Amino acid sequence: MRANPRDVRTGILYIDGDVAAAEGALAAGCKFVGGYPITPSTEAAEAFVRRAPQVGAMFIQMEDELGSISAVMGASLSGKKSMTITSGPGFSLMMETIGFGAMLEIPFVIINIQRGGPSTGVPTKTGQADMMQARWGSQGDYEVITLSPDSPQESFDFTIKAFNLAEKYRVPVMLMSDECVGHMTEKVVVPEADKIEIEPRRLYKGPKDKYVPFKPDKDLVPPMVKAGDGYKLYLSALTHNERGYPTQNIKNSSSRRLIDKIRLNADDIIEIKEEGLEDAEVVVVSYGITSRVAFRAIEQARKLGIKVGNLRLVTVWPFPDKKITELSKKVKGFVVPEINYGQVVFEVERCVHGNANIILVPHGGASVHNPNDILTAIKTIVKDKKRYDGILEFKTELELRIFGSGDNK
C-alpha cells in the first residue's frame, strides 16, 4: 500500500529531527496522537498538532503520560494508527501500558527523544540511557522493536518504518531518538506519496463467527478487527488463550508467541548498516547520534592505517546476535561507544562469546563523545595482545581530567 498524498509534505525540507519524526508519522498514516509536553520531544508534538486537523488526524493533550499512552491503546484498537511522543520521565510513566500493549498485541509507536541522566536528569541535553528500559521496562516477558535514527532524515524514514513494523507484527515499536538528533536541523528529503510504502493494518477477512482474536497466521501474528465492528470481543490483559479469555495454563496462552513472533522473525526485522567489515581488525558498534560521532574516529583511524569496520544498529532490539557472533570470530575486538555507562555493550559481550576483546567507551550524557576518545579506544584495542577479562571500560579524557589517573591503557 502507498501513502496518501494528503498526508505527505513532499519536497526538500529544512527541519529538525523532532519535526521530521512528526512528518514521518503523518506520512505513515498516523491519525491519532495522545501526548503530554516534555522537553526535548515537544517540537515533534507541536509539528503534529499543526498539521493534524488538516489531514483528518487528532491530537489530544492528555492529563499525563499514563493517560496519553492509554488513549493511544484505545485509539489503535478502534482502527486508527496511533502513537505518542515523549522523553525519559514520561517514558517511565508509560511502562505499564507498554506491557499492556505488548500483551494485547496493539500496534503503536512511541517516539522517545532521550535526554540525559536518570530521573528528571538533564532535560535539554542528550542521552542514550533508556535502551534497556525500552526493552524490558514493563513487568513480565515481552519483546519490542526499537529503531535508532542518527539524523533528521532518518527520523523521518525510521518513523515510517516504525509504523510499518508495528502494524506488521502487532507490537510496540519505539523510535529511540535523542535530544541531539531531535534538535538538529538538516535537509530532509520527503519523497512523493507513491514512493512511500505503507503497511496497512492486518484486518481479519474471514467469516465473522469464525474469528478468534489471538489465533495467529503463519508468521505468528494474529489478524485484527476494529472495535465496534460487531465481533463481541473479549480482550483481557490477563494471561490469555487464543480466544482472549484468561488462563493460568501458560502453554495454552499467548505468552510464548509474544516472544517468538519477534525472535523467529528477527531476520526480517533487524536492520544494520555496515561498512568496511570485510577485512576489519576492529569493529565499532554504535547506534543513534553516537554513530555520527564514531564516524569521525573511524575516518581518523583509517588514516593511521588501522582497518576499522563500522557497524550501525538501526534496530537495537531485536539485537543482531548472529552478525556479532560471526564477526567476533574474525576480528581482534569491538569498540562500543554509547551515551550511558554500558547497556548495549553487554549484549555485544553476550554475542562475542569471549572470541574477541571489547572496549566500552561510556559517556554520562548531556553531550556527545569526543571522537578522540573513540579513536584512542580503537588504537588501544589494536595494540593490545592479551585477552581482557570481560569488558574494558574506557575512561574518557574528560573523566581522567576530573577524577585523576584511571586505568587507561
DSSP assignments along 190-223, one per residue: E--GGGSB-PPP-B--S-GGG--TT---TTS---
Residue 54 vs 372, nearer CB to another protein: 54
Q: Which is nearer to another protein, 211 or 287 (CB)?
A: 211
The span from the CA of 334 to the CA of 356, in Å, is: 7
Stretch that binds another protein, among 234-242, 248-256, 338-346, 384-392 (CB under 8 A): 234-242
CB of 255 to another protein, least distance (A): 16
**Cβ closest to another protein, residue 211 vs residue 394:** 211
Of positions 9, 215, 226, 307, contacts another protein by CB under 8 A: 226
Torsion of CA 383, 328, 298, 385, to 10 degrees: 0
Residue 231 touching another protein (CB under 8 A)? yes
The CA radius of gyration of the chain, in Å to the nearest whole number, is 22
Q: Is 212 in the site for another protein (CB under 8 A)?
A: no
* Total residues in contact with another protein, by rule CB under 8 A: 46
Q: Per rule CB under 8 A, is residue 78 in the interface with another protein?
A: yes
The helix or strand, by DSSP H or E, that contains position 61, with its residue range, turns out to be: strand 58-61
Nearest to another protein of 100, 163 (CB atom): 100
Q: What angle do CA 58, 60, 64 make, to 5 degrees?
A: 150
User: According to the binding rule CB under 8 A, does residue 200 interact with another protein?
Assistant: no
Binding mask 98-137 for another protein (x = CB under 8 A): -xx-------------------------------------
* Cell, residue 376: 584512542
Q: Candidates 55-63, 296-304, 336-344, 365-373 — which segment interacts with another protein by CB under 8 A?
A: 55-63
Q: Which stretch binds another protein (CB under 8 A): 36-44, 159-167, 244-252, 391-399?
A: 244-252
Give min distance, CB of 103 to another protein, in A.
8
Contacts with 74 (C-beta within 8 Å, 6 or more apart), sequence order: none
- Report the C-alpha gap between 100 and 82 in whole angstroms: 15
Pick between residue 205 and residue 232 the one whose CB is nearest to another protein. Answer: 232
Q: How far apart are CA 152 and CA 189, in angstroms?
A: 10
For residue 356, list its beta bridge partners.
none
Chain positions 255 to 314 lying near another protein, rule: CB under 8 A, are: none
Determine, following the binding rule CB under 8 A, whether residue 233 of this chain makes contact with another protein: yes
Choose between 77 and 166: whose C-beta lies nearer to another protein.
Answer: 77
- Which is nearest to 7 in space by CA: 80, 113, 102, 71? 80
Among 41, 80, 291, 310, binds another protein (CB under 8 A): 80
Closest CA to 351 of 277, 403, 285: 285
Q: Does 203 sit near another protein (CB under 8 A)?
A: no
Q: Decide if 301 contacts 250 (C-beta within 8 A).
A: no
Nearest to 399, CA basis, from 359, 369, 358, 357? 369
- Nearer CB in complex with another protein: 208/263: 208
Residues that bind another protein (CB under 8 A): 32, 34, 53-54, 56, 58, 60, 62-64, 66-68, 70-80, 82, 96-97, 99-100, 226-238, 243-246
